[in-house]
Amino acid sequence: MTAHPSEPSPRGLPLDILLLDSYNPRLPAEMKTADQNALLVYILYTYDAIGVARSIARHGYFESEPLIVIPDDHGAYFVVEGNRRLVALKILADPTLAEGLDDADEWRELAEAATLPGLVPIVVARDRREVVPIIGYRHISGIEPWEPYAKARFIASLVDDGMKFQDVANLVGEAPTSIANHYRNHAIVKQAEQDFEIDASRVVKRFGVFTRAMNSPALRAHIAAPAPSEVSAGTGPLPQTKAESVRELFSWLFGDDEHNAVIDESRNITDLGTAVASEDGLAVLRNSRDLEAAYIAAGGLRDRLLRRLTMAYTNLEAAAEDMPAYGNEDEVQQLLARCWEALKGLTEPDAES
């Protein structure tokens, strides 16, 4: 990491000139204009800064992981990696910052027990782009992954800043297709909010489920979302005519003010795709919001039966290869008898067992 050319390269800085970064990808967009106190409170509540403080009070501050900072024009430094640790340090140094907040008493106790460094260990970067490889490998594909929406927002910020999908992929350690997927999914949420005026707060909170849904060709087709190879930077990925389709997809996946979601868990997304891909299934889903009924109407039950029977046949045929060696064992014979009874139950449903 290279130091800013007009500054010395310190190994440590006073706590009071270290600032929280409002452009942290984990923060919502409305926090970009927040002051330092608002940022501190948000990070404190949302990202369990007190857990870091407990570790510092118990074990001391580990200097082996310095904060990564970039200088501003006024002698201060924005922390672009390590904001949760910075919040913990700031409140431990001045527990009055936690007055009136939850756990204020514990913060005072931790502050009394903690031994803080005189200078906070740091590494100075020239700009945000220089930090991208570290943030990418740590939080996108590395050991401390961010939540899905923060990942997508970080990737989108790099692409919107002029980087190509391949270049971002090289920096953060993911495939270009994955980068395009992240970018598209983030852009869909942004377009839904800004152009279609759709509340996407539920999508943001469960963005991993939405990412899973966008792996379904049928659900992508329903809103005309492009495949990764067709994603373009800087433009809304969806046609303007698909606003209502987006609204109903969000509602099916996450519910809305008037309805519960039609899926119980992310693995139901496959059934939802089957229903949506069929005119009959889609009609039932729209009229009833009953995913099981829509899945059956779409022929999904028949397809599932065929898949299960095919798998059973394939497994039995493969088992024949092992029968000469173990076919006479009691356990094998018992399982064969159970298979035979199951087969009779399918072909002769009224037969007595």
Give 18-55 pLDDT, tens digit per residue.
Answer: 999 998 877 887 888 899 999 999 999 888 899 999 99
Residue 4 above 50 pLDDT?
Answer: no
Rounded mean pLDDT, 197-204: 95
Residue (of 55, 75, 52, 60) closest to 4 by Cα position: 75
Band (pLDDT 50/70/90 cuts) for residue 1 is very low
- The neighbour count for residue 131, using CB atoms within 10 Å, is 18
Give 273-292 pLDDT, tens digit per residue.
Answer: 999 999 999 999 999 999 99
- Position 10 scores a pLDDT of 62
- Position 248 scores a pLDDT of 97
Structure tokens at 215: 């792996």
Residue 73 above 60 pLDDT?
Answer: yes
Q: In what order do the strands lie in the sheet with 77-81?
A: 12-13, 120-124, 67-71, 77-81, 18-20
- Position 29 scores a pLDDT of 78
Scored b (16 or more CB within 10 A) or e, 160-192 reads eeebebeebbebbebebebbbbbbbbbbbbbbb
- Position 47 scores a pLDDT of 86
Helices (H) and strands (E) in the chain, counts: 18, 5
Relative orientation angle of helices 165-172 and 176-194, to the nearest 10 degrees = 110
Query: What percentage of the chain exceeds 90 in pLDDT?
Result: 56
Give 82-140 pLDDT, tens digit per residue.
Answer: 899 999 999 999 999 998 888 899 999 999 999 998 899 998 888 877 777 777 767 77
Band (pLDDT 50/70/90 cuts) for residue 143 is low
Structure tokens at 289: 């919001």
Comparing 211-225, 237-251, 312-326, the range with the smallest average pLDDT is 312-326
Comparing 4-13, 127-136, 198-207, the range with the smallest average pLDDT is 4-13
